[in-house]
Amino acid sequence: MADPVLSIRNLTVGLPVKLDRKNAVTGISFDVRPREILCVVGESGSGKSITSLATMGLLSPGLKVTSGSIDFDGRDVLKLSNKERNAMRGDQMAMIFQEPMTALNPAYTVGAQIEEVFRIHRTLSAADRRAEVMRLLEEVRLPEPKRLYDAFPHQLSGGQRQRIMIAMALALDPKLLIADEPTTALDVTTQAQILVLLKQLNERHDAGIMFITHDFGVVAEIADRVVVMRHGEIVEQGTAEEVLNNPQHPYTRALIDAVPRPMTEDTTPEANENPVVIDVQGLNKTFTTSTGMFKPARTVTAVNNVSFQVKRGETLGIVGESGSGKTTLVRCLMRLIEPDNGAINISGVDFAAKSRSELRSHRKDIQIVFQDPYGSLNPRRTIGSQLIQGAINFGIPRKEAWDRVYKLLDIVRMPHDSVNRFPSQFSGGQRQRLCIARALVVQPKVLIADEAVSALDVSIQREVLHLLNDIRDRLGLTVIFITHDLRVAAQICNEVLVMQYGSVVERGGVSQIFNAPSHDYTKALLSAQPGQNWDMPVFDEGDTLAKI
């Protein structure tokens, strides 16, 4: 076996004092060998990004490596001077970041930005540089390299930008490529393409790839070896085969158990005799953006003639990639955005026809939980005052309102003393529970969850999904569940709407969508799910994550 390009030994990175743990990373050791893809997996806060930044020498000033060594190509990176490190970065060691939208400088063409790598590290003539850039653009499978050379980042899609980032990283044929969640911000179909590209490149180049991710599906797709991290420590490492199919550590087993399962059994939903709660007919919404005083305005159809019905006690999933119009659709349902036309009938009230002031008394029937647990609670108000607000708005006496708040805190399994605290004192998952409680305080008939679990770690995601199901059954709610992730939709929904470019392309029961999709787009979405060939082992240790 080839000598490792990167070998990290006993690395410990200290955190500034007064934080909840002493070290960001404690005594970790692993190797990356040429031509191999090593996946570092962990939930948020596990120290996986810190490890990659320490390797690149890009740690933020508050963090210091307190012990250990990072040997790259025979030299200890930690002992290099800034100048030596700069010469090494981009040349022998390159990095791809998570957010392709911000990783490129919007003021320069992408061609110039790729060329810059050559300008810094090599002495090439202008013509040679241009030729090299063209070769790279072709290598990462970008169409029309000549046209793209002069394109600015904002003219490219997220997937194209990430390809540009990969081209920049590969420009000088580095020995080590660090990819920090490179596909997390991308749509699932784009993610599948990028993963394929990385695998192909891995076969042609000698580079070792250190791939950081939180998604076991992605791991199953590309990893040769896997390192599992938790609270800054390595809990398990081994070949992909071993870790995925026969994990030893209880944490790894619990993590794999929490991964949403693909739908396998063929369950036909039992006929639901309940009345229809939501009846949407021919809903349209077009956005007009003015591009300047003298240019014609541009129109984007966000929701195009959408109609559907949901019966009481059902969960309807709305699945689609970014820009498919799913969020606009539900915001129109709630009249947070004004729809252009169409009828929205929610338990007998036409939401679309009412004026805004008439609507206020009906608003309690339909409530929403948002994606971002950090932006959906007011940081300056106590939890209690935010939870009780809705009930007070609808004229419920204070005492009864507090009773409701405490009862809901029990339902979402949060302690009663949460009411005196501020949002900053809760984690993402806890905040999401509080948001659910806030939505339920007015006793709605319909609850909308807009990507409500997408920002959460898998283990917490699973808990919140269970909670939502539980609440739906206990309170007889109707739920609209919006997600980009078909696996998540399969866990919670009875029926699924698949949206693309503002239109519903397919609708059906969960098993029908998964086992016999009829529309090409649904098929494409399904085949793009990472980790399909991985037969996930079942450990049934569902609650162990909470215990360990």
Partner 1 sequence: MTTPVSTSAHTSPTKQVLRQALNHRGVMFGAFVVLAIIFIAIFAPMLAPHDPYEQILSRKLIPPVWFDSPKTTWDHILGTDHLGRDYLSRLIYGARISLMIGFSAMLISGVIGTTLGVCAGYFGGRIDNVINFVITTRLSMPVVLVALAVVSLMGSSLTVVIWVLGLLIWDRFAVVMRSATQQVRGLDFVASAEALGSTTPRILFVEVLPNILNHFIVIATLEMAHAILLEAALSFLGLGVQPPDPSWGLMISEAKGLMFFDGWLIAIPGTALFLLILAINLLGDGIRDVTAPENRN
Q: Does 372 bind partner 1 (CB under 8 A)?
A: yes
Q: Does 494 bind partner 1 (CB under 8 A)?
A: no
Q: Which two tokens stand for residue 211?
A: 């791939």
Nearest approach, Cβ of 258 to partner 1 (angstroms)? 20
Closest by CA position to 214, among listed 191, 248, 239: 191
Stretch that binds partner 1, among 144-152, 249-257, 375-383, 476-484 (CB under 8 A): 375-383
Q: Does 86 bind partner 1 (CB under 8 A)?
A: no
62/181 Cα distance (integer angstroms):
23
Residues near 86 by Cβ (< 8 Å), separated by ≥ 6?
A: none
Interface with partner 1 (CB under 8 A), residue from 201, 439, 482, 490: 439
Stretch that binds partner 1, among 64-72, 101-109, 247-255, 413-421 (CB under 8 A): 413-421
Nearest approach, Cβ of 417 to partner 1 (angstroms)? 8
Stretch that binds partner 1, among 137-145, 173-181, 280-288, 380-388 (CB under 8 A): 380-388
Contact 287, 300 (CB under 8 A): yes
Q: Does 442 bind partner 1 (CB under 8 A)?
A: yes
Q: Does 366 bind partner 1 (CB under 8 A)?
A: yes
Quick one: 125 or 288, whose CB is closer to partner 1?
A: 288
396/388 Cα distance (integer angstroms):
10
Q: Give the β-pairing of 298-311 and 276-289.
A: antiparallel
Nearest approach, Cβ of 322 to partner 1 (angstroms)? 17
303/413 Cα distance (integer angstroms):
37
Nearest approach, Cβ of 334 to partner 1 (angstroms)? 6
Nearest approach, Cβ of 272 to partner 1 (angstroms)? 26
303/324 Cα distance (integer angstroms):
8
* CA–centroid distance for 299 within its chain: 28
How many residues sit in the footprint of partner 1 (CB under 8 A)? 45
Q: Give the β-pairing of 225-230 and 37-41.
A: parallel
Find the angle CA(450)-CA(407)-CA(388) to the nearest 5 degrees. 65
Quick one: 439 or 498, whose CB is closer to partner 1?
A: 439
Residues near 53 by Cβ (< 8 Å), separated by ≥ 6?
A: 59, 60
Residues near 299 by Cβ (< 8 Å), separated by ≥ 6?
A: 286, 287, 288, 289
Binders of partner 1 in range 20-39 (CB under 8 A): 20, 24
DSSP code at position 89 = B
Q: Which two tokens stand for residue 259?
A: 């991964």
Q: Does 49 bind partner 1 (CB under 8 A)?
A: yes
Nearest approach, Cβ of 18 to partner 1 (angstroms)? 7
Quick one: 272 or 393, whose CB is closer to partner 1?
A: 393
Starting at the edge strand found earlier in the chain, the sheet holding 298-311 runs: 298-311, 276-289, 341-346, 349-350
Contact 277, 445 (CB under 8 A): yes
Residue type, 196: V
Binders of partner 1 in range 317-336 (CB under 8 A): 331, 334, 336
Nearest approach, Cβ of 492 to partner 1 (angstroms)? 21
Stretch that binds partner 1, among 16-24, 73-81, 145-153, 312-320 (CB under 8 A): 16-24
Q: Does 58 bind partner 1 (CB under 8 A)?
A: no
Interface with partner 1 (CB under 8 A), residue from 378, 515, 518, 527: 378
Q: Does 420 bind partner 1 (CB under 8 A)?
A: yes
Interface with partner 1 (CB under 8 A), residue from 82, 289, 291, 424: 424
Residue type, 439: A
User: Burial of 29 by CB count in 10 Å (0-12 exposed, 13-18 middle, 19+ buried)?
Assistant: middle
| Number of other CB atoms surrounding residue 532 within 10 Å | 14
Closest by CA position to 460, among listed 182, 50, 44, 181: 44
Interface with partner 1 (CB under 8 A), residue from 360, 398, 416, 466: 360
Q: Which two tokens stand for residue 322?
A: 């970014």
Q: Does 292 bind partner 1 (CB under 8 A)?
A: no
Q: Does 394 bind partner 1 (CB under 8 A)?
A: yes
Interface with partner 1 (CB under 8 A), residue from 435, 493, 498, 505: 435
Quick one: 479 or 498, whose CB is closer to partner 1?
A: 479
The phi and psi torsions of 163 (rounded to 5 degrees) equal -65, -40
Q: Which residues bind partner 1 (CB under 8 A)?
A: 18-20, 24, 45, 49-50, 331, 334, 336, 360-361, 363-364, 366-368, 370-372, 375-382, 386, 389-390, 393-394, 417, 420-422, 424-425, 427, 435, 438-439, 441-442
